[in-house]
Chains A and B, each alone.
Chain A
């Protein structure tokens, strides 16, 4: 039987120039994974008959499934490899993106925002904006989100194909087509339900495939203190293991960022924008079977997100302790230093993984990529069908179509989303600079969107015109600030408050300023325009909506109790690694 598998495995076998070399057991592990996800998609076809099934997974998910899917949709393989590389480069500072850059926002989503998303029965974030601010704000956010999502999906696909080529020697076209066709088949068959089921499966695989690295690494170095001692020996004078101690000034840390940028830019704006308004992740929580599950899902997600640094950041730190010769930036790779930071995770995998475990680790990387892509494609299909196609179709034809019609459109949108992603991947191959522009553009839209959604939920005086013009001004100013720095680099000291600020710091401060612009414009325009009557804001705005009481529940079943526990652990971890 294994002999017959050989021709199938040929493209999977690494060439001699790749970082890792797979044996037949490793390849078998990968092939079984592909067969499983396709099988799940086929099985779930029978459960996706209506629009609610296809686009919202029947709104029947338990808090655990919604919570794991919520965090898995964000746990892409590029994120795993990229942040492990950042940990090697910047040390434990990279953990800020997992802790202060995620946990408070996820808890805020669960406790404060989720009731309004859930009670309004919206199918998407643009759908909420339509109910709250009308079609203008909804269309603006839906079109920007729809296009950017599939473009980002294509960029991730291309980046992943490059990673697979470097790490395993796989052909770029093979990686792009096999992974996208697999995602296409299982999302077309089972819709969001299939995407969510596979995300939970992929989440388990990512943990079980990556967790072995920190365990064996800590055994090798003699625990945390042994690892810190080795890092100090390898990099004398550098501080790689303290989270906040070096954040007092821009020059004291390798990220070139001040604590105000991390706390107010990343912690208060960028992370809240991503975790509370990026429909890719919010869609997962909207599938919960009841309000308590919808509130608990982000809290469960936050608990797991807090642990992710153990499989992402710790391998990077262990790399600082044990990998010799030292890893260098991509442009300094030479015969003496043959590997770059970006290769730290596969290098650690190759260092510790024996037969089968290597396949499991590579499967974890592939699973991470596929869960990210399925998330993008399923979110695109929902937003495109419900928030763009449907209103335009109804306006043009003056009639509402049946539910099954929209399911059919959703399936075609999935195909379209995958094809555009593949097209983007090939476009990026020709014009690499597109990658920087699209990534920057994507970040432009989330911070303003957060400003609009949060004002809509918490301030009943915000009007339709205020919402639209606030969002428009925020997006426009974000693009403007980015273009200003591109054209005149000296503008950096105005935008990011320091000429020493690096790209990450610039993004943090740009997010902060455009959020403030959204708030100011929305407030000013709203005060000069007519608000909606309060009865039309029921279920959408705090103060106009009666939220179901949780007083009858025992304390350990209340979301606020679990949110407090997660928050306490978050504070303790920050103090421990201060």
Chain B
């Protein structure tokens, strides 16, 4: 937000994290269901990618909805 006008920086951050969260969660759920033949990361059985994707989704959603430009003041 600049001088009370325009879109907040936190909305941009929220949008990017939300998008990343969706991509990373989907990619890692697919990986969990049908693991690739490539070398697996250490502790892959923890499915850390899925959890990290969900974390990004949550943080992204909070910023995205809290700072959405169409929010009624």
Q: Could you tell me which A residues sit within 8 Å of B by CB distance?
A: 25, 28-29, 32-33, 36, 40, 43-44, 46-47, 57-58, 60, 65, 193, 197, 200-201, 204-205, 208, 212, 216, 219-220, 350-357, 360
When C-beta atoms are compared, the residue in chain B nearest to A39 turns out to be B12
Are A60 and B42 interface neighbours, CB within 8 A?
Answer: no
When C-beta atoms are compared, the residue in chain B nearest to A68 turns out to be B9
Are A355 and B2 interface neighbours, CB within 8 A?
Answer: no
Contacts of B12 in A (CB 8 A): 36, 40, 197, 201
Q: Is the interface of A mostly helix, strand, loop or mixed?
A: helix
Contacts of A40 in B (CB 8 A): 12
Known: A43-B7, A58-B2, A357-B49. A352 touches B13 (CB 8 A): no
Tell me, in angstroms, the Cα distance from A120 to B5 when the chains sit together.
Answer: 27
Known: A58-B2, A356-B27. 15 other contacts (CB 8 A): A25-B24, A47-B2, A47-B3, A197-B9, A200-B13, A201-B9, A201-B16, A205-B16, A352-B42, A352-B48, A354-B40, A354-B41, A354-B44, A357-B49, A360-B24
Are B43 and A356 interface neighbours, CB within 8 A?
Answer: no
Tell me, in angstroms, the Cα distance from A193 to B3 when the chains sit together.
Answer: 12
B46 located at the interface, meaning its Cβ lies under 8 Å from any Cβ of chain A in the complex? yes
Are A32 and B19 interface neighbours, CB within 8 A?
Answer: yes
User: Which 9 pairs of residues, A with B, have the shortest CB-CB distance?
Assistant: A356-B24, A354-B49, A355-B27, A25-B27, A356-B27, A47-B2, A197-B9, A354-B41, A351-B42
Are B2 and A200 interface neighbours, CB within 8 A?
Answer: no
B20 located at the interface, meaning its Cβ lies under 8 Å from any Cβ of chain A in the complex? yes
Distance in Å: Cβ of B14 to nearest Cβ of chain A? 10
When C-beta atoms are compared, the residue in chain B nearest to A47 turns out to be B2
Are A355 and B49 interface neighbours, CB within 8 A?
Answer: yes
Tell me, in angstroms, the Cα distance from A200 to B2 when the chains sit together.
Answer: 15
Distance in Å: Cβ of A246 to nearest Cβ of chain B? 31
Number of chain B residues whose Cβ lies closer than 8 Å to a Cβ of chain A: 32
Known: A28-B23, A193-B2, A216-B48. A356 touches B28 (CB 8 A): yes
Sampled A-B contacts (22; CB under 8 Å): A25-B27, A32-B23, A36-B15, A43-B7, A58-B3, A60-B3, A193-B2, A208-B56, A219-B43, A350-B41, A352-B42, A352-B48, A354-B28, A354-B31, A354-B40, A354-B44, A355-B27, A355-B49, A356-B23, A356-B28, A356-B49, A357-B48
Tell me, in angstroms, the Cα distance from A443 to B71 when the chains sit together.
Answer: 48
Contacts of B56 in A (CB 8 A): 208
Are B23 and A216 interface neighbours, CB within 8 A?
Answer: no
Distance in Å: Cβ of A254 to nearest Cβ of chain B? 28
Among A204, A212, A350, point to the contact of B17 (Cβ < 8 A): A204
Contacts of A32 in B (CB 8 A): 16, 19-20, 23
Distance in Å: Cβ of B60 to nearest Cβ of chain A? 10
Distance in Å: Cβ of A503 to nearest Cβ of chain B? 35
Tell me, in angstroms, the Cα distance from A34 to B16 when the chains sit together.
Answer: 11
Contacts of B41 in A (CB 8 A): 350-354
Tell me, in angstroms, the Cα distance from A32 to B31 when the chains sit together.
Answer: 21
Tell me, in angstroms, the Cα distance from A60 to B43 when the chains sit together.
Answer: 46
Are B48 and A360 interface neighbours, CB within 8 A?
Answer: no
Contacts of A350 in B (CB 8 A): 41
Known: A204-B17, A352-B48. A220 touches B3 (CB 8 A): no
When C-beta atoms are compared, the residue in chain A nearest to B59 turns out to be A208
Distance in Å: Cβ of B53 to nearest Cβ of chain A? 7
Are B3 and A216 interface neighbours, CB within 8 A?
Answer: no
Are A355 and B3 interface neighbours, CB within 8 A?
Answer: no
Contacts of A29 in B (CB 8 A): 20, 23-24
Are A208 and B17 interface neighbours, CB within 8 A?
Answer: yes
When C-beta atoms are compared, the residue in chain A nearest to B10 turns out to be A200
Contacts of A36 in B (CB 8 A): 12, 15-16
Q: Digit string of B45-60 for contact with A (CB within 8 Å is 1, else 0)?
A: 0101100110010010
Interface centre among B3, B17, B20 (most CB of A within 10 A): B20
Tell me, in angstroms, the Cα distance from A57 to B3 when the chains sit together.
Answer: 10
Are A47 and B52 interface neighbours, CB within 8 A?
Answer: no
Distance in Å: Cβ of A424 to nearest Cβ of chain B? 31
Tell me, in angstroms, the Cα distance from A208 to B17 when the chains sit together.
Answer: 9
Contacts of A201 in B (CB 8 A): 9, 12-13, 16
Are A219 and B46 interface neighbours, CB within 8 A?
Answer: yes
Contacts of B52 in A (CB 8 A): 212, 357
Distance in Å: Cβ of A346 to nearest Cβ of chain B? 13
Tell me, in angstroms, the Cα distance from A352 to B28 when the chains sit together.
Answer: 13
Tell me, in angstroms, the Cα distance from A32 to B43 when the chains sit together.
Answer: 28
Distance in Å: Cβ of B46 to nearest Cβ of chain A? 7
Contacts of A360 in B (CB 8 A): 20, 24
Contacts of B30 in A (CB 8 A): 355
Tell me, in angstroms, the Cα distance from A220 to B45 when the chains sit together.
Answer: 12
Contacts of A205 in B (CB 8 A): 16
Are B6 and A354 interface neighbours, CB within 8 A?
Answer: no
Tell me, in angstroms, the Cα distance from A65 to B41 when the chains sit together.
Answer: 35
Are B42 and A220 interface neighbours, CB within 8 A?
Answer: yes
Distance in Å: Cβ of A304 to nearest Cβ of chain B? 15
Tell me, in angstroms, the Cα distance from A352 to B41 when the chains sit together.
Answer: 5
Contacts of A219 in B (CB 8 A): 43, 46
Contacts of A193 in B (CB 8 A): 2
Tell me, in angstroms, the Cα distance from A57 to B24 when the chains sit together.
Answer: 34
Are A47 and B53 interface neighbours, CB within 8 A?
Answer: no
Are B2 and A60 interface neighbours, CB within 8 A?
Answer: yes
Tell me, in angstroms, the Cα distance from A313 to B27 when the chains sit together.
Answer: 29
Distance in Å: Cβ of B41 to nearest Cβ of chain A? 5
Tell me, in angstroms, the Cα distance from A351 to B48 when the chains sit together.
Answer: 12
Contacts of B27 in A (CB 8 A): 25, 355-356
Are A355 and B9 interface neighbours, CB within 8 A?
Answer: no
Contacts of B28 in A (CB 8 A): 354-357
Tell me, in angstroms, the Cα distance from A60 to B3 when the chains sit together.
Answer: 6
Are B31 and A355 interface neighbours, CB within 8 A?
Answer: yes
